Amino acid sequence: MSALTALTLRAAVDGLRARDFTAEEITRAHIEAIEKARSLNAFVLETPEWALAMARASDERLARGEGGPLEGAPLGIKDLFCTRGVRSTAGSRILGDFTPTYESTVTANLWRDGAVMLGKLNMDEFAMGSSNETSAYGPVINPWRSTASNRPLSPGGSSGGSAAAVAADLVLAATATDTGGSIRQPASLTGSVGVKPTYGRCSRWGIVAFASSLDQAGPLAKTVDDAALLLKSMSGHDPKDSTSLPVETPDFPALVGKSVKGLRIGIPKEYRVAGMPAEIETLWSLGIDWLREAGCKVSEVSLPHTKYALPAYYIIAPAEASSNLARYDGMRYGARVEADTLADVYQLTRSAGFGDEVKRRVLIGTYVLSAGYYDAYYLKALKVRRRIADDFDRAFETVDALLTPTAPSAAFGLGENSADPIAMYLNDIFTVTVNLAGLPAISVPGGLDSQGLPLGLQLIGRALDEGALFSLAGALEKAAGFTLKPERWW
């Protein structure tokens, strides 16, 4: 492994600006690392020539003393983001070789700031999954291995390719999306930092939709500072997205390392769920101690509607998915199965193009929106969503942020939960509430379990208060001192 691939995003950007190495050199180092790590299946499309052309353009700008805040930094892009001239599939067969003629706003912001694209990262199909096993391109393998077994582990989902690529030093950082925990859970399972921003902080324009009222783009990175640096470039108001918030983007990196003395931290009592491993309870207690030592005031809070969050989420998200995925019919773009009648084209194209999990969610969503069931299921779920948001509003009257575990377990084996959808959905138990309420949250690696696998802590903040989360996450990161990387086996 090249020393260049082991750099943090911050160190790489500073080194490029100081001309310690060139953008082409660090890009070539990452391309070589990706080629050697294909067994991880983190990428669905590598774009080495594209990356080198972007790197050379960055070197020209740097030589002139110009360049943006990410100038020359090689990144990975989750395949949910449309990239102009580069195939974008959302991890599904139904899009075929779809090559957008436009660029998502988030990736356009990154190219504006000088970033380099190494390729498109693997993901659960249409972001529907918690293990990256529903991808049409096969599962991603977590670079971490248990000390008790050599079985392949899941990196989490749906942003499993992004998380695995960051953990294995294949990219300096990566874009990801979070609909019910798809940034934070993979971050926890791979020892990375993942941020789900406030809904509307990052534009959704050009991101393939799963559940429009829940989806939000965010960064996966090696450190809290790196995540802040990347989120700053990803954010910004976009008139093309009606849900984009017309607010200024704070200087997130400047808030990392800021004192957290006097901040009030809430511990939700409802997050102590039955059957949670003792090691996660222990880490949670350690996190509380670390924040106390940093000068925070800690108290217990109640979020009484938490127990209804998962069922409400798995009504609302499939309902929106069934609506959003209706556009994939084989008629306008993407894959198409020829047949004698229009109805047969629709049916055969969707049967061949969608995977089992996507079909399951489309069926659920169509059912809960159907006549006779809309009021009983979908409307009731929306009312529960409002109650969950109210719970957070009341909690934030007395505290500034909440501390919880990120996931109910460390990385699990590939195939371990694939036959039981409910067991898989329970991976999102600590994360879905944040999406339902539109709040920001961050996952920070806190330590290892008894089998040498990473565990994460989650901080949840008020809407648009990512700044406090970055300060608190920086304090947690410093206290935990987590600098471990997976032992190279690939």
Can you give 374-417 as a three-state secondary structure string? HHHHHHHHHHHHHHHHHHHHHHCCCCCEEEEECCCCCCCECCCC
Distance CA 198, CA 212 (A): 14
Does residue 413 contact residue 151 with C-beta atoms inside 8 Å?
Answer: yes
For 153, counting Cβ atoms within 10 Å of its Cβ (0-12 exposed, 13-18 middle, 19+ buried), the class is: buried
The two tokens of residue 263 are 């901040």
The two tokens of residue 482 are 């987590």
Quote the CATH superfamily of domain 1-490: Amidase signature (AS) domain (3.90.1300.10)
Check pLDDT > 70 for residue 378: yes
Q: What is the dihedral of CA 364, 81, 12, 448, to 10 degrees?
A: 10
Distance CA 203, CA 239 (A): 9
Cα 325 to Cα 219, 345, 358, 474: the distances in Å are 25, 16, 9, 39
Residue 78 is among the residues annotated as catalytic for this protein? yes
Active-site hit among 58, 78, 135, 233? 78
DSSP bridge pairs for 445: 456
Q: What is the pLDDT of residue 418?
A: 72
**What is the mean pLDDT of the segment spanning 426-430?**
87
**What is the mean pLDDT of the segment spanning 215-222?**
98
**What is the mean pLDDT of the segment spanning 32-36?**
98
Backbone angles phi, psi at 16, to 5 degrees: -65, -40
Distance CA 111, CA 121 (A): 17
- Looking at residue 153, the DSSP 8-state letter turns out to be B
Confidence of residue 480 (pLDDT cuts 50, 70, 90): very high
Does residue 454 contact residue 190 with C-beta atoms inside 8 Å?
Answer: yes
Active-site hit among 92, 154, 158, 159? 158
Domain locations in the chain? Answer: 1-490
Cα 317 to Cα 31, 205, 348, 449: the distances in Å are 36, 19, 24, 32
Distance CA 346, CA 331 (A): 8
Residue 158 is among the residues annotated as catalytic for this protein? yes
Cα 66 to Cα 17, 185, 385: the distances in Å are 9, 37, 47
Check pLDDT > 60 for residue 485: yes
Residue 182 is among the residues annotated as catalytic for this protein? yes
Q: What is the pLDDT of residue 276?
A: 83
The region, left, alpha or beta by phi > 0 then psi within -120 to 50, assigned to residue 457 is beta
Full-model pTM: 0.97
Cα 219 to Cα 9, 30, 120, 264, 428: the distances in Å are 12, 18, 15, 26, 18
Active-site hit among 92, 182, 409, 471? 182
**Model confidence pLDDT, tens digit, residues 260-309:** 999 999 999 999 988 788 999 999 999 999 999 999 999 999 999 999 99
Confidence of residue 426 (pLDDT cuts 50, 70, 90): confident
